[in-house]
Chain A
Amino acid sequence: MARMTMIEALRSAMDVKLADDPSVIVFGEDVGYFGGVFRCTAGLQAAYGEERVFDTPINESAIVGMAVGMAAQGMRPCVEIQFADYVFPAYDQISQEAARLRHRSNGQFTCPLVVRMPTGGGIFGGQTHSQSPEALFTHVAGLKVVIPSNPYDAKGLLIAAIEDPDPVIFLEPKRLYNGPFNGDHSGKSTPWSAHPAGEVPEGHYAIPLGKAELRRAGRDVTVLAYGTMVHVAEAAVAEAGVDAEIIDLRSLLPLDLDTIRASVEKTGRCVVVHEATRTSGFGGELIAEVQEACFWHLRAPLIRIAGWDAPYPHAQEWDYFPSPARIARALRKVMEE
């Protein structure tokens, strides 16, 4: 076991796959020589050469479009979009091409491709360095959508994503790159080295896509969260003093409905938390699924806590980012019903 930040864990996942599969290839903006603006690919080009790890022009559509062409021939590109906020020029290639290639060609061509992108706020990133666009991908049939919340999961999920035969959107909460973040923005930061999930095996391991993980067992209410919000929810549960069960979804598509159902059937209450804007966000889907699957077990209306339906602001960061206090209020409210 080694101690790793999420950045190091992600780099380790790519390192492992570059070493054991010659068809794995890594590219994106500033990904090669420099090692990525977040250092996620540092040292990989030096280790594997520029035919395996290289820089691209600033053109997201080209990054994904080239990767689709390569993947169709059986290579396994793991490409980076520098910020999830900048994935939109590639949305055509992702949603209309990568996602559909297997289906529309009846399996003649497939697309084993991973698109990594830093996501989420809490870093004073403003409008175009903070967004959480996961719902724009969970709505696309043929994609898988993954978002880890800690270094151990990040490595295991990224290895699984690279090995997956279908296209995977891999969202990395950049607020968690260096340490867990529970919403306390007073300046105290905890490094991953002080967190159990900072223990990461050096070699190969995979965490299956489509499997959620229980972060905290509880009896009173189920909290469904992913990414940074897993840690914020933990702080909120402590603040509210409720015996909540926190489920870290890890994969949004496919969704681990069995784990969700088992928990809500036990607690009878459910709060959904995400950073993304509320309307038509992934929380809407979670609430609909829980309502359909657990209606007769529900003891209170389902609540979702989300980013406001406004572009992500700069100065008002902490009024926008769902805070532990806001989530705690929701937890107390759902317990009153």
Chain B
Amino acid sequence: MTAKLAFPHPPARPDQSPDFSNIVVPLAGSLPVPPLDLEARDARPFAIGLIRVLDDEGRAVGPWADCIGDLSDDDLRLGLRDMLQMRAVDRRMLNAQRQGKTSFYLQCTGEEAIGCGFQRQLEKGDMNFPTYRQQTLLIAADYPLEALMGQLYSNDLDPLQGRQLPIMHSARDYGFFSISGNLGTQYVQAVGWAMACALRGNGKIAAGWIGDGATASNDFHSALLSASVYLPPVVLNVVNNQWAISTYTGVAVGKSETYAARALGYGIPALRVDGNDYLAVAAVSRWAIRRARQGHGPVLIEWFTYRAAAHSTSDDPSAYRPKDEARAWPLGDPVERLKAHLIRRGAWSEERHAQAEAEILDEVRTVQKAVETHGTFVDPKPISPAEIFRGVYADLPDHLRRQRQEMGF
């Protein structure tokens, strides 16, 4: 035998049929709820298993269902509404990009349950350190659509005054840290923020977010190690959507069993969760946030999902994966699954759903039209170029004053 390199490949390419036969989907309700002070050495079943609440018939089953037994029909309808609004915004903004009204957009189709479900379990003052695919956190934090869309259009409603690429939101008052284009960096910053929470004794927590591909970045390790050393109140989320642009998740995970399993080596307990199951998201989020807030230290959650849409408006997934792969995804669609559950509960119907979808789309469209009157890429109402220089530093140093004057402002 001689040494040979391994090069992981996705189960199917564009000319092939989708193949998810390698994915094991355990029965809903099969994993227990561990104690809040769960330690890494006892977390292995949770890190390699899959926590699921909604079964194939849309029933909420098992012990994790019990921990969110207090969620009312209204709470769950709100969750559905969050996801539908997210989907409507995605659809409208994708169109707006195609029409040249904004330069760039990223959808989160198929991943709506994760951010929407997590955010509704946070308290005011907690801080997310999101990636560019957690707009869901803003939607479920009731962030004004005017500000969200203003940022996407870089118009005068943009809280960031045109400085950032569309989708790189920042909303401190809504628990949403400034997004950076540099992957992974925010993961260790979340740990630092959580350390500050503990040092100040303010009772708040931080939540780090990262995708499966970006777990390969140095700062994933930096964050896990730091969290493991200092035990701050942080929830470290990995959104495993199977794809990093064109790169199959196997290239990032290597021979590790799961992303969650990685945390165990750092001494951080971890859970792997059905990311398309809104109830599982709500239950595990509540558990992890409570654990952090009560001082039991960090926890990592791998949200298992599928990136149903293109990576971005600059990407064409048909070049590297089967066109209908999303439809074959064994964990289904988060909106459809919560809808089925609500119908089974007698709290929803096909008619109400269709009506809600139409209403939400109409609301989003109305806001969008209003926001567009403040300027778009095809109909710009420019922000003052002097904005370039404001905020580089707290005060304007002489060299920037000279450059601003050179520009004519």
CB within 8 A of A69: which of B168, B190, B229?
B190
CB distance B196 to A75 under 8 Å? yes
Chain B, range 147-185, C-beta contacts under 8 Å to A: 159-161, 163-164, 168, 170-172, 177-178, 180-182, 185
CB distance A109 to B172 under 8 Å? yes
Chain A, range 83-116, C-beta contacts under 8 Å to B: 89, 92-93, 96-97, 100-110
Check B223 for interface membership: any CB of A closer than 8 A.
Answer: yes
**Contact bitstring A54-68, B, C-beta under 8 A = 1, else 0:** 001101011001111
A8 to chain B, nearest CB (A): 27
Closest to B393 in A: A166
CB within 8 A of B193: which of A57, A69, A255?
A69
CA distance A104 to B164 in the complex (A): 6
Chain A neighbourhood of B127, CB < 8 A? 73
**Contact bitstring A140-176, B, C-beta under 8 A = 1, else 0:** 0110100000000000000000000110000000000
CB within 8 A of A62: which of B171, B178, B196, B225?
B225
CB within 8 A of B206: which of A25, A57, A69?
A69
Check A51 for interface membership: any CB of B closer than 8 A.
Answer: yes
CB distance B223 to A65 under 8 Å? yes
CB distance B182 to A96 under 8 Å? yes
CB distance A75 to B160 under 8 Å? no
Check A257 for interface membership: any CB of B closer than 8 A.
Answer: yes
Check A70 for interface membership: any CB of B closer than 8 A.
Answer: yes
Closest to A100 in B: B180
CB distance A68 to B189 under 8 Å? yes
The dominant DSSP class at the B interface is: helix
Q: Would A104 and B222 be within 8 Å (CB), given that A69-B193, A69-B195, A70-B192 are in contact?
A: no
Check A43 for interface membership: any CB of B closer than 8 A.
Answer: no
Chain B neighbourhood of A107, CB < 8 A? 391
Check A254 for interface membership: any CB of B closer than 8 A.
Answer: yes
B249 to chain A, nearest CB (A): 23
CB distance B182 to A73 under 8 Å? no
CB distance A92 to B182 under 8 Å? yes
Chain A neighbourhood of B199, CB < 8 A? 25, 51, 70, 75
Q: Would A67 and B399 be within 8 Å (CB), given that A103-B163, A105-B178, A106-B163 are in contact?
A: no
Chain A neighbourhood of B129, CB < 8 A? 69
Closest to A141 in B: B392
Chain A neighbourhood of B178, CB < 8 A? 101, 104-105, 108-109
Chain A neighbourhood of B188, CB < 8 A? 61-62, 65-66, 69, 93
CA distance A93 to B129 in the complex (A): 14
CB distance A106 to B393 under 8 Å? no
CA distance A8 to B124 in the complex (A): 43
CA distance A97 to B177 in the complex (A): 12
B237 to chain A, nearest CB (A): 16
Q: Would A92 and B185 be within 8 Å (CB), given that A101-B178, A108-B172 are in contact?
A: yes
CB distance B163 to A165 under 8 Å? no
Check A313 for interface membership: any CB of B closer than 8 A.
Answer: no
In the complex, besides A102-B392, A104-B163, A254-B398, 9 extra interface pairs with C-beta distance below 8 angstroms are A62-B223, A68-B189, A72-B189, A73-B197, A103-B392, A104-B168, A104-B178, A105-B178, A257-B399
Residues of A at the B interface (CB closer than 8 Å) are: 25, 51, 56-57, 59, 61-62, 65-75, 89, 92-93, 96-97, 100-110, 141-142, 144, 165-166, 210, 254-255, 257-258
Return the 4 tightest CB-CB contacts between A and B, nearest first: A69-B192, A65-B188, A66-B192, A69-B189
